[in-house]
């Protein structure tokens, strides 16, 4: 599959690149996408939630009133969940939400996400570029060229590009990553994927292992 290479002005450079069908042309596997996104979101959870149960509450354990004759329900401890300040019944406890997936499934999920972007015509290939200084207005000009100022976009470089990354930090809808840190969640959660020419080789190496 051949795709035209554009410059940051949005004009064709006269060159094309070959996108590997084994990565960008497969039939997307929705279940693999679901599992990989689910794992990513699960791994973001700290799992540090905790509430005190009745055995952990500070307070006296004396019987607060006699068993019978009061006309109200019996009560054995001020730490009962029925009273204000008492322990919680079956409250949340610290938990590790992370789970593992096979590497082959994760590769399939990333291939599916990339193929989906091609299928939806939401993938652009740009020639290599850099900024002399890390200024946000330089990146905004690029986004305006491709009408992406109000859309989620992600730039994928072959290796980390510090100036472009720093220029993107003030933009909530724009993400700049290197090909080695590409993940399925970011691919699915972007409207337009901009692959820098140097990233293609790196992506093919990582996904053809």
Domain ranges of the chain: 2-46+99-207, 51-91
Tokens matching residue 141: 């000009």
In whole angstroms, give the CA distance from residue 136 to residue 2.
32
Residue 97's region, left for phi above 0, alpha for psi from -120 to 50, else beta, is: alpha
Can you give the pLDDT at residue 61?
Answer: 86
Can you give the pLDDT at residue 37?
Answer: 97
In whole angstroms, give the CA distance from residue 186 to residue 177.
10
Can you give the pLDDT at residue 28?
Answer: 95
Contacts of 105 (CB under 8 A, 6+ apart): 32, 35, 36
In whole angstroms, give the CA distance from residue 19 to residue 151.
24
Overall fold of domain 2-46+99-207? Ribosomal Protein L4; Chain: A; (3.40.1370)
- How many C-alpha atoms does 143 have within 13 Å on its Cβ side? 24
Series of mean pLDDT values for 10-residue runs along the chain (209 residues):
90 91 94 97 95 92 91 92 92 95 96 95 93 93 93 93 93 93 94 94 88
Q: How far is CA 80 from the centre of its chain?
A: 42
Can you give the pLDDT at residue 151?
Answer: 93
**Number of CB atoms found within 10 A of residue 4's CB:** 13
Can you give the pLDDT at residue 160?
Answer: 85
Candidates 71, 122, 113; CA nearest to 203 is: 113
Can you give the pLDDT at residue 1?
Answer: 82
């Amino acid at each position: 599959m051949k795709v035209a290479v554009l410059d940051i002005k949005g004009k064709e450079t006269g060159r094309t690149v070959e996108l590997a069908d084994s990565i960008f042309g497969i039939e997307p596997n929705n279940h693999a996408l679901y599992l990989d996104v689910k794992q990513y979101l699960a791994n973001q959870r700290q799992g540090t939630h905790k509430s005190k149960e009745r055995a952990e509450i500070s307070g006296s354990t004396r019987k607060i009133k006699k068993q019978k004759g009061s006309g109200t329900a019996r009560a054995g401890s001020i730490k009962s969940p029925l009273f204000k300040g008492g322990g919680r019944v079956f409250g949340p406890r610290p938990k590790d939400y992370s789970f593992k997936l096979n590497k082959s499934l994760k590769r399939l999920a990333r291939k599916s996400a990339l193929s989906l972007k091609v299928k939806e015509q939401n993938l652009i290939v740009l020639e290599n570029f850099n900024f002399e200084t890390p200024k946000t207005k330089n990146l905004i000009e690029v986004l305006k060229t491709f009408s992406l100022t109000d859309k989620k976009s992600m730039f994928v470089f072959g290796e980390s590009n510090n100036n472009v990354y720093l220029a993107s930090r003030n933009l909530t809808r724009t993400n700049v990553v290197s090909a080695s840190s590409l993940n399925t969640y970011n691919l699915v959660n972007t409207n337009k994927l901009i692959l820098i020419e140097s990233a293609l080789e790196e992506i093919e190496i990582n996904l053809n292992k």
